[in-house]
């Protein structure tokens, strides 16, 4: 299995060297970088200074500083909630973010916020409450008992998405949601996480985080809405991520970098990468890969 993975990576990896002429045609001068947070910008334990090898590094922080010095707008885009991302942005000096896997876009430290939920019904209740009232979360938890549970404590205090952890077949569940009358909802895989519960089936060898959210929501549609709202052309934008939900942003930006752990954590993502000619894989994992992508985008402008 390890050899097969290495062979697949060798087929698709475009690192030595990255084709500068091709990338320059995709992003002549990057103005905006849409960045995932956990296991992309941040390392183990959610630390900016912890590398994938659990040794401290200043490279991600230095790359953040370079973004500020070169007037690049880094937009955090994550499954994290609004309040969490506001604090992340405040500490890092960023102004804009997209929370709860694309459900809400916030500008200028939250002074202006717009929704990205399509025609999903909005009343006095929050989107999270409306989803709960639909019965979809209880249906899924009962149907997949032992394979799915709430991702406590990160599932608490949400406004939009219901977060679960476990191991499920995304295509199967989304088909089931449609068949059961939950046509306005979908479930999205937000990447591999550590096992944090003993109530899941012990035979599960891999645990992922999943979001149940309005069908119109998502990282890709949120990036599109942000670009349209601010009048930013696609070829001025780049993105950095580590999951399938990040990979879908590729269609909305000039170029997308997947940090190395995206493919070592989930080898199946390689088959999907083939569908996107503007996706490149970094040599480094997590924050080291993030810094590698940022430095490459900035350095080529200085040559």
The CATH number linked to 251 is 3.40.50.1000
Q: What is the pLDDT of residue 76?
A: 98
- Whole-number Å distance between alpha carbons of 165 and 234: 33
Is 184 found in the same domain as 151? yes
Q: What is the pLDDT of residue 122?
A: 86
Is 150 found in the same domain as 275? no
Is 289 found in the same domain as 155? no
Is 140 found in the same domain as 92? no
Domains identified in the chain, total number: 2
pLDDT tens for each residue of 22-42: 888 889 899 999 999 999 999
Is 192 found in the same domain as 140? yes
The count of C-alpha atoms lying within 13 angstroms of the C-alpha of 142, restricted to the half-sphere facing its C-beta, is 5
122 occurs within a structural domain: no
26 occurs within a structural domain: yes
Is 75 found in the same domain as 107? yes
Is 103 found in the same domain as 87? yes
* Chosen domain end from 181, 214, 247: 214
Tokens of 215: 């069908």
Residue 163: its H or E element: strand 162-166
Neighbours of 216 (CB within 10 A): 17
Q: What is the pLDDT of residue 19?
A: 79
184 occurs within a structural domain: yes
Question: Which positions of the chain have pLDDT values less than 70?
Answer: 1-17, 301-303
7 occurs within a structural domain: no
138 occurs within a structural domain: yes
Is 250 found in the same domain as 104? yes
205 occurs within a structural domain: yes
Core vs surface per residue 276-287: b (16+ CB within 10 A) or e? bebbbbbebbbb
* Chosen domain end from 187, 214, 241: 214
Is 243 found in the same domain as 183? no
4 occurs within a structural domain: no
Pairing relation of β-strands 112-115 and 32-35?
unpaired
pLDDT tens for each residue of 139-161: 999 999 999 999 999 999 999 99
- Whole-number Å distance between alpha carbons of 225 and 223: 5
- Whole-number Å distance between alpha carbons of 280 and 294: 13
- Whole-number Å distance between alpha carbons of 225 and 227: 5
Q: What is the pLDDT of residue 12?
A: 43
Q: Whole domain around residue 186: which residue ranges?
A: 127-214
Q: What is the pLDDT of residue 8?
A: 44
Ramachandran angles phi, psi of 183, nearest 5°: -65, -25
- Whole-number Å distance between alpha carbons of 165 and 175: 19
187 occurs within a structural domain: yes
First and final CA of the chain: distance in angstroms? 41
* Chosen domain end from 214, 243, 267: 214
Residue 281: its H or E element: strand 279-281
CA distances for 55 relative to 1, 51, 59, 288, 293, angstroms: 28, 5, 12, 11, 20
Tokens of 290: 């993030």
Is 255 found in the same domain as 189? no
């Amino acid at each position: 299995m390890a050899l097969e993975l290495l062979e697949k990576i060798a087929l698709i990896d475009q690192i030595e060297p990255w084709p500068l002429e091709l990338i320059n045609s995709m992003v002549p001068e990057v103005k905006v970088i849409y960045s995932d947070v956990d296991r992309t910008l941040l390392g183990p334990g959610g630390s900016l200074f912890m590398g994938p090898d659990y040794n401290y590094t200043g490279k991600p922080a230095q790359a953040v500083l370079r973004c500020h010095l070169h007037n690049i707008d880094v937009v955090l885009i994550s499954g994290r909630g609004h309040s969490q991302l506001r604090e992340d942005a405040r500490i890092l000096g960023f102004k804009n973010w997209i929370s709860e896997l694309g459900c809400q876009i916030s500008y200028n430290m939250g002074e202006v916020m717009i929704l990205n939920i399509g025609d999903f019904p909005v009343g006095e209740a929050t989107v999270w409450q409306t989803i709960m009232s639909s019965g979809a979360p209880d249906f899924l938890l009962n149907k997949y008992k032992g394979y799915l549970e709430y991702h406590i404590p990160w599932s608490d205090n949400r406004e939009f998405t219901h977060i679960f952890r476990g191991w499920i077949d995304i295509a199967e569940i989304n088909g089931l949601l449609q068949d059961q009358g939950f046509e306005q909802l979908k479930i999205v895989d937000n990447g591999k996480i550590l096992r944090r519960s003993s109530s899941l089936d012990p035979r599960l060898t891999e645990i992922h985080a999943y979001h149940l959210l309005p069908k119109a929501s998502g990282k890709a549609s949120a990036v599109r809405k942000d670009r349209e709202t601010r009048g930013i052309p696609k070829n001025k934008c780049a993105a950095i991520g580590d999951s399938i939900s990040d990979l879908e942003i590729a269609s909305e930006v000039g170029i997308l970098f997947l940090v190395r752990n995206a493919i070592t954590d989930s080898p199946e993502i390689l088959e999907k990468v083939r569908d996107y000619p503007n996706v490149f894989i970094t040599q480094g994992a997590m924050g080291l890969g993030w810094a590698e992508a940022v430095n490459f985008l900035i350095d080529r402008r200085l040559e």
